[in-house]
Amino acid sequence: MISLILFIELFFSLRVFLDFIIFNDIKLLDYDKLRPTLLGVSGNRNVLAFDLVFKLIFVIYSFIKTKSISRYLYLVLLFFSTFLLLLLSSRGALIIFIFVIIIYLFHNLRSKLYLNLILLFPILCSIASVRYLDSNRYNIVTKVSSVGLSDESTSHRLFLYQNAIDYISQNPFIGCGIGNWKVESLPYWKDRLSGYTIPYHAHNDFLELSTELGLIGGLSYLLSFIFLFSYLIKNILTNKYSMLVFMILLVYFIDAFFNFPLERFNMQIYFVIIFIFSFLISKLNSNEI
């Protein structure tokens, strides 16, 4: 079901790109003008990029676990999904995707080494394809390594984190209430506001919940992740679904640490999936189902 949804989303996202290469000279492709047209059913490239990473976890897992010849259809999805992910050029999503691939490769290193080689093939092909389209500007290594403390986006986030931590230190037990951080953060931005641009989020769900619910609320949310991580790691060798849920949880955790998936309804679908699958794993372990 998730693979089918991914296929539909890829069609809507890449149809503009396909129209261009069919009716125009591919050498005339303007990457900067192309990227805003690739959003498909999403309204934001970062949202779409992280959504792709979540779905790619299922695609890779299905490829590894499927025994029939149909498993190679997942490689086609992997190629086009990685291709779109690279075109979107969301650094956060790219870094997380690299982590996902590395963890999967290490997990299959002993028993399924040949699958690792097959798995890498569509990924390398997608990288080569994007490099061919934009050879002068696109370099995945440069894109990922450009993340640093001096980067404007990183500096922006660090300032948001400092604001949230300062507010928490002054209001450790009673927060400002759910949804009110966007109001309470305004005094910190009085000298940085530009027009009507305001910081709606702290770009860290753990800090933002701590400002709104107090430390008890924020730590409770963080502890739920720590508990799930420890439970899944403990069962990763004995339950075949634990690896899948662990990867989804890891991506969601990183997204929550640098963005605000709590405000994105499509990300909450994966949050619900995490808890449902974890519950099912516990039932399987206790032989209740």
What is the per-residue pLDDT for 144? 55
What is the per-residue pLDDT for 80? 93
Structure token pair of residue 276? 């449902």
What is the per-residue pLDDT for 26? 64
What is the per-residue pLDDT for 251? 92
What is the per-residue pLDDT for 81? 94
What is the per-residue pLDDT for 177? 92
What is the per-residue pLDDT for 222? 95
Q: Classify residue 46 as exposed, middle or buried by CB count within 10 Å of its CB (0-12, 13-18, 19+).
A: middle
What is the per-residue pLDDT for 141? 52
Per-10-residue mean pLDDT of the chain, 289 residues long, equals: 89 81 67 73 83 92 85 92 88 88 81 80 90 64 53 76 92 90 83 65 92 94 94 85 91 91 87 89 75
